[in-house]
Amino acid sequence: MHRRPPIYRLVLWNIDLTLVDVARVARGAYADAFRKVTGRPLVALPQMVARTDSEIFFEALALNEAGSAPERTEAEGQELLARYTTELEVAFDARLGQLQTQGRALPGARDAVAAVATLPGVVQSVLTGTIRPNAAAKLRAFRMDAFFDFEIGGYGSEVYPMGAQLLRSRGRVAEKYGGEIATNPAVYLGDSTRDVEAARIGGAHPVAVASGRSTASELRDAGADLVLDDLADTDAVVTAVNWLTSAVSAG
């Protein structure tokens, strides 16, 4: 019987502005989902960069209901969020044909994830502000989904901070692949200072990619182990991941 090779290295990726840029498509989906759930248009758009879908929704509520927001219990807020994430999946699914025409894969992204996947013992997943079905759709549109195990990732439907999500993701990895990987070095590649902070909180090595809104200097100051201008140099990405997840770096 064929035995699965041992998995002992975890590599997590942010999606938006690290691997792909589909902001135009996402904004339309946010607006549709918000209108269907609240009955009002999304007039004021909240900050979306480095935010989870759940954060974006609650910030949108605060901005668009200013002065007229009804009092809601925590349970009512969570029920509203659940409805919103359902509508967000529907709205995004209706726009799948726009992903390639109005979005793009960032330079070197597919080659980078494909090359990292060939490293011995690596399992790749995502730690993203996007809800799971939409995260998979974004990567599928640019032929990257096959390189990821979506079962162990962290997503924007969760209300936990990104650092806590990373810890929860490592727990799921341990359950699926064995306990050793939970204590081995992990890497999280993202484009924002919040990604760097989440990696630090979650016990992963932050590799920052200056392809988003954060500058290389800001990413270094936030504590990134390494800052790349982009993912175009596949060898540089693979070398960084290999080094940071090696037994030598763990010691």
pLDDT in tens, 95-140: 999 999 999 999 999 999 999 999 999 999 999 999 999 999 999 9
Task: Report whether pLDDT(170) > 80.
Answer: yes
Query: 211 in helix, strand or coil?
Result: coil
| CB count in 10 Å sphere of residue 216 | 14
Task: Report whether pLDDT(250) > 50.
Answer: no
Residues 79 and 81: their CA atoms lie apart, in Å, by: 5
Task: Report whether pLDDT(249) > 50.
Answer: no
Q: Mean per-residue pLDDT for 83-94? A: 96
Looking at every residue in the chain, the average pLDDT score rounds to: 90
Residues 21 and 37: their CA atoms lie apart, in Å, by: 26
Share of the chain above pLDDT 90, in %: 67
Query: What is the value of pTM for the model shown?
Result: 0.91
CA neighbor of 243 nearest in space, from 194, 187, 197: 187
52-78 pLDDT tens trace? 888 888 888 888 876 665 677 778 878
38-58 pLDDT tens trace? 998 988 877 777 678 888 888
Sign of dihedral through CA atoms 146, 150, 153, 157?
Answer: positive
**Which amino acid is present at 44?**
A
Residues 209 and 50: their CA atoms lie apart, in Å, by: 13
Task: Report whether pLDDT(212) > 70.
Answer: yes
pLDDT on residue 182: 74
Q: Which tops the pLDDT comparison, 212 or 49?
A: 212
